[in-house]
Structure 1
Amino acid sequence: MADADPRFDASAEIATPPSPGNPKRRKALLGIAGAVLLAGGGYGIWYVAVGSHYVSTDNAYVGADTAQITPMVAGQVAQVLVSDTQNVKRGDVLVRIDDADARIALADAEAALAKAKRQFGQTSATGQSLAATLAARDQAIASAQAGLASAQAAFQKASVDLDRRRKLAPSGAVSADELTSAVNGYAAAKSSFDSARSAVQQAIAAKDAAKGDLAANRALTTGTTVETNPDVLAAQARVDQARLDLARTVIRAPVDGVVTSRAVQVGQRLAAGTAVMKIVPVDQLYVDANFKEGQLTRVKPGQKVTVTSDLYGSDVVFHGTVTGFSGGTGAAFALIPAQNATGNWIKVVQRLPVRIRLDPRELKAHPLRVGLSMDAEIHL
């Protein structure tokens, strides 16, 4: 009988039954699975009951309608009374511009106004003189007409005398000297008659001219007084403008706030409209929160918002109200807008700025500054 092969083991052909699993490990896995299911169920319940009633973002920043300070008149800066970071009240003097030129302009305008008033008084007095002249022209016409009637009578008499003597001359009843005298008298009477007739026409023409002058004068004065005369009103408007320009040499704060970006020095020559500084109304700040477009489905103006600042932390909570939405996303108004019509387009979730008005009383208690980061949560 051959020797048995030592590499062969009959016991190796018998399959080893699987050992039962570790009971502790199975319990641990079941416990983890149960915890996960419990956490998922708890989150689902929380989201339905609480989480679905809020949307939040940390992409939010403080903003303000900053007041830009610009001079209304040109001139040299005489005095700067504020500096950056200084708190000012509405009406406080910020800058004084040298007012010498403005004072001279005001004095010139006031002199022009006085002259206009005097000219109106002179025009009124001239009207009275023209009315008297017109009455005198009527008397001159009457006198000229009387002279014309007298000259006409003398002319007619001279004409009759000349005819009579011419008829008697052939019979020798009238001498040649007498006839010559009658001819000369006729000529003189005719000349006087023509002169008288011309005098009447001149008197009538003088009256028409006086009537026109009076009408022109009355057109300037009728229905007006020294206070309502157009020339006086125009001169008064120039005085008001000069007085306003003088007042504008003193630049005042238009709102309460903090001075920033001061860019003016004493002695600097300013042109009208040059930006010299800004005033940030710290009690009228707002928050622009950039929410994802998918978060805005249920957001509406008037909804309440809680906001926290990185400056104060979560211990200080600001309360605000949604006032509206921007007219477009940030990408739409970017300097170089996205060109989505290209072939390599990839959809990117857009963000839309939502304006949130803050409570002025909370801002007064905990001041904020433009540009600070905020966390905003809208109560849906």
Structure 2
Amino acid sequence: MMAETNHRLKFNLAIATLLFIVIALGVALAYFLILENEEETEEAYVAGHLVQITPQVGGTIRRVMADDTDVVKKGDVLIILDDSDFQLAYERAQNELIQAIRQNKQQTAGSSQTKAEVLLRKAELAKAQADLRRRESLAGTDAISGEELSHARAAVVQAQAALKAVEAQEAAAQAALGSNIPLRQQPAVQTAISHIKDAWLNLQRTQIRSPMAGQIAKRNAQVGQNIQQGAALMAVVPLNNLWVDASFEEQQLRKMKIGQPVQMVAELYGDKVVYHGKVMGLSAGAGNVFSRTSSQDTAGNSVYRVPVRISLDEKELAANPLRVGFSMTVTVDVSAAGTGKTMVAAAEKNTALPEAEAVDWTAADALVEQIFEKYAK
């Protein structure tokens, strides 16, 4: 009986040892086939751009159209400033252009009148010279006296002086108008047009719009607040241009390369939603080369981590939205070739960075055309 019990114990021990060996081999095989080709971290968070909303003109806030957590579209009005002073400046600029056009028309009319006077003075000079020649031909005879001849010579001198005077007036009028310069290219008119555009632009800027779609954060604007140009009023976080900053231990970067595929799981959705991205590079910090953090392992040793930026697919973001600060679990496939560049190599420039739209001058140009059509005829 005792021998049978010992035999069973030995058999069970052998089975247990065999199972342990099989499990150990399975773990080793899984490590070499899978885990060795992956680097994973739970120290990962969603990040995004923080676009500051600042006024381009100073003034008093009349209305705030958006608050924290609001989702806005590109071009939505966020803040409205009191536009009374800007409206008056806009009207003055229009009057300045009207006055410049009228003044140019007056100068053109004056120049035409001066040209007519020049022609008249030339005719008077020609007549005086003809009279002088006729009288000089009669000099020494009883047909003309010396006094009459002197008067004829004085008339020529007087006509020459009058001609020079009106020619100087013509030159001054021509200088004021420019030498064959069209109305729209006259300096005073050009200056008035620029003042209209400047006043129009300032008037548009009293409505502060969102430069891109996103979520409002850090609202500081209050109704009645007097603000200066460049003051931070709120921020917009673009929700379609997010990425993940994942902190890895330094030794985890040995096989990691830019462009390697990444799978991510958000704490919000769990394993049922998997995001895909690529390694973009190391995130530079404000202090050292990396903005790195430290923690302690089970032995109490300090473990340093550096942030790695991971891209997010826009279509996947649209299907399952994320917000800045959400926790993620990140797994990088380090067996993939990627771009071939190591993590310490320079990353490729992101050509998809957002940019502000150029000013559309259509409305201002249309107003200028209306003024010319009405007053320049």
Give the TM-score normalised by structure 1: 0.72
* One-letter amino acid of the structure 2 residue matched with residue 378 of structure 1: V
Return the alpha-carbon distance in structure 1 between the equivalents of residues 328 and 63 of structure 2.
Answer: 39
What is the correspondence of 1:1-380 to structure 2 with a 5 Å cutoff? 37-153=21-137, 156-157=139-140, 186=146, 188=147, 191-192=150-151, 194-206=153-165, 208-213=167-172, 215-217=174-176, 219=178, 222-224=180-182, 226-327=183-284, 331-332=288-289, 351-380=305-334
Q: 1:73 to 1:217 in 2, by over 3 A?
A: closer
Return the alpha-carbon distance in structure 1 between the equivalents of residues 159 and 223 of structure 2.
Answer: 78
* One-letter amino acid of the structure 2 residue matched with residue 122 of structure 1: Q
Return the alpha-carbon distance in structure 1 between the equivalents of residues 21 and 97 of structure 2.
Answer: 92
Return the alpha-carbon distance in structure 1 between the equivalents of residues 232 and 251 of structure 2.
Answer: 41
Return the alpha-carbon distance in structure 2 between the equivalents of residues 350 and 123 of structure 1.
Answer: 79
Contiguous gaps of at least 5 residues in structure 1: 1-21, 162-181, 338-346
Q: 1:75 to 1:42 in 2, by over 3 A?
A: same
Q: 1:211 to 1:234 in 2, by over 3 A?
A: closer
Return the alpha-carbon distance in structure 2 between the equivalents of residues 233 and 376 of structure 1.
Answer: 60
- Tell me how far 1:209 sits from its aligned partner: 2.0
What is the aligned partner in structure 2 of residue 178 from structure 1?
Answer: none
Return the alpha-carbon distance in structure 2 between the equivalents of residues 264 and 71 of structure 1.
Answer: 11
Return the alpha-carbon distance in structure 1 between the equivalents of residues 314 and 223 of structure 2.
Answer: 35
- Tell me how far 1:266 sits from its aligned partner: 0.9
Work out whether residues 127 and 217 of structure 1, in 8 Å CA contact, stay in contact via their aligned partners in 2: no
3-state SS, counterpart of residue 216 of structure 2:
strand
Return the alpha-carbon distance in structure 1 between the equivalents of residues 174 and 195 of structure 2.
Answer: 29
Return the alpha-carbon distance in structure 2 between the equivalents of residues 329 and 378 of structure 1.
Answer: 26
Q: 1:291 to 1:144 in 2, by over 3 A?
A: farther
Structure 1, residues 126-146: CA drift from partner, whole Å, max 9, x if none? 232222122122212202312
- Tell me how far 1:195 sits from its aligned partner: 1.9
Work out whether residues 287 and 357 of structure 1, in 8 Å CA contact, stay in contact via their aligned partners in 2: yes
Contiguous gaps of at least 5 residues in structure 2: 1-5, 294-300, 335-377
3-state SS, counterpart of residue 133 of structure 1:
helix
Work out whether residues 65 and 280 of structure 1, in 8 Å CA contact, stay in contact via their aligned partners in 2: yes
Q: Bigger radius of gyration, 1 or 2?
A: 1
Instruction: Note the aligned Cα RMSD (angstroms).
Output: 3.4
Return the alpha-carbon distance in structure 2 between the equivalents of residues 302 and 105 of structure 1.
Answer: 54
3-state SS, counterpart of residue 282 of structure 1:
coil
Structure 1, residues 69-119: CA drift from partner, whole Å, max 9, x if none? 112211111111222222222232222111111111111111111111112
* One-letter amino acid of the structure 1 residue matched with residue 168 of structure 2: A
* One-letter amino acid of the structure 1 residue matched with residue 312 of structure 2: L
Return the alpha-carbon distance in structure 2 between the equivalents of residues 28 and 246 of structure 1.
Answer: 89
Give the TM-score normalised by structure 2: 0.73
Return the alpha-carbon distance in structure 1 between the equivalents of residues 71 and 168 of structure 2.
Answer: 72
What is the aligned partner in structure 2 of residue 344 from structure 1?
Answer: none
Return the alpha-carbon distance in structure 1 between the equivalents of residues 165 and 135 of structure 2.
Answer: 21
Identity, % of aligned positions: 36
Structure 1, residues 229-273: CA drift from partner, whole Å, max 9, x if none? 332232122112212211221222222222221111111111111
Work out whether residues 283 and 291 of structure 2, in 8 Å CA contact, stay in contact via their aligned partners in 1: no
Return the alpha-carbon distance in structure 1 between the equivalents of residues 135 and 304 of structure 2.
Answer: 109
